[in-house]
C-alpha cells in the first residue's frame, strides 16, 4: 500500500508541478515590468486626467458596440499618457481609453512574452475550462500534499520506533 501511495505521490508531484512552474515563471516576468509589454512603470500624472472612470467604461462599450462585462479598470501611464485599461469584456484582450481625450482603442496584439505571461499566469490557454482546470489541479495538489503527509508520518513513526527499540 505504501509503495502505491509513494508512486501516486511522485506522479501527482509531476502533474501538479507543470502548471505551478508556468505560473511561477510568468510571475517572475510580471515582477520585471520591462519584460511584459516592453513598458516602464511610470508615476501617474493626476493633473492630466480629464475622463472619469465611469466615462471610460462607457467609451469602451461604445468602441466594442455593446455593454462589456468589465472586471477591471486600471489607470496607468502608457507611452507617456494617462490611460485606463478596461479588462474582462474581451477575454484576454483589453481596451485602452486615453484619460485626457477619452479616445478608446483596442489593445495591440501582445508580443510573445506578454502572451506567455497571460496564458501561463492566468491559465487563458484553457479557455472556457479555466475554472474546471483550476479546481482539478487544486484537488490534485491537495491529494499530493496528503500523500506526502501520509508518507512523512509513516517514515517518522518508523524512525521513532527504531530509535525507541534500540
CA gap 166, 161 in Å, rounded: 9
Residues 28, 78: one domain? no
Please identify, among 77, 109, 141, the residue that sits at the C-terminal boundary of a domain: 109
CA gap 58, 45 in Å, rounded: 22
Residues 7, 46: one domain? no
Model pLDDT, residue 54: 93
Domain containing 105 equals 38-109
pLDDT at 101 exceeding the cut of 90: yes
Long-range pairs for 147-156: beta carbons < 8 A, 24 or more residues apart: 147/5, 147/6, 147/8, 147/9, 147/12, 148/9, 150/5, 151/2, 151/5, 151/6, 151/9, 154/2
Residues 87, 42: one domain? yes
Residues 120, 161: one domain? yes
**pLDDT 10s digits, 114-143:** 777 777 777 777 888 888 988 998 899 999
Model pLDDT, residue 30: 67
pLDDT band at 50 (very low <50, low <70, confident <90, very high): very high
Please identify, among 68, 93, 109, the residue that sits at the C-terminal boundary of a domain: 109
Which residues have CB under 8 Å from 29's CB, separation 6+?
Answer: 35, 36, 113, 116, 117
Whole-prediction pTM value?
0.52
H or E, element range at 1: none
Average pLDDT value for residue range 139-154 = 92
Looking at the structure of the chain, the number of domains it has is: 2
Residues 7, 55: one domain? no
Residues 42, 103: one domain? yes
Reading the block at residue 150, the C-alpha cell is: 501520509
**pLDDT 10s digits, 54-78:** 999 999 999 988 888 888 899 998 8
Residues 69, 104: one domain? yes
Residues 43, 91: one domain? yes
What CATH number is attached to the domain comprising 44? 3.10.450
Please identify, among 84, 109, 134, the residue that sits at the C-terminal boundary of a domain: 109
Model pLDDT, residue 115: 76
pLDDT band at 51 (very low <50, low <70, confident <90, very high): very high
Residues 60, 103: one domain? yes
Amino acid at each position: 500500500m505504501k509503495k502505491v501511495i509513494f508512486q501516486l505521490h511522485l506522479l501527482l508531484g509531476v502533474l501538479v508541478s507543470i502548471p505551478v512552474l508556468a505560473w511561477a515563471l510568468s510571475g517572475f516576468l510580471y515582477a520585471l515590468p520591462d519584460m511584459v509589454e516592453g513598458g516602464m512603470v511610470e508615476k501617474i500624472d493626476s493633473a492630466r486626467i480629464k475622463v472619469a472612470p465611469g466615462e471610460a467604461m462607457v467609451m469602451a462599450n461604445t468602441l466594442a458596440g455593446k455593454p462589456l462585462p468589465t472586471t477591471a479598470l486600471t489607470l496607468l501611464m502608457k507611452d507617456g499618457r494617462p490611460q485606463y485599461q478596461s479588462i474582462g469584456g474581451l477575454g484576454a484582450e483589453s481596451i485602452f481609453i486615453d484619460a485626457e481625450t477619452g479616445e478608446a482603442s483596442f489593445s495591440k496584439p501582445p508580443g510573445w512574452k506578454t502572451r506567455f505571461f497571460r496564458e501561463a499566469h492566468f491559465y487563458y490557454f484553457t479557455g472556457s475550462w479555466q475554472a474546471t482546470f483550476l479546481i482539478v489541479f487544486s484537488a490534485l495538489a491537495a491529494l499530493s500534499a496528503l500523500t506526502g503527509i501520509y508518507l512523512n508520518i509513516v517514515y517518522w513513526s518508523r524512525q521513532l520506533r527504531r530509535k525507541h527499540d534500540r
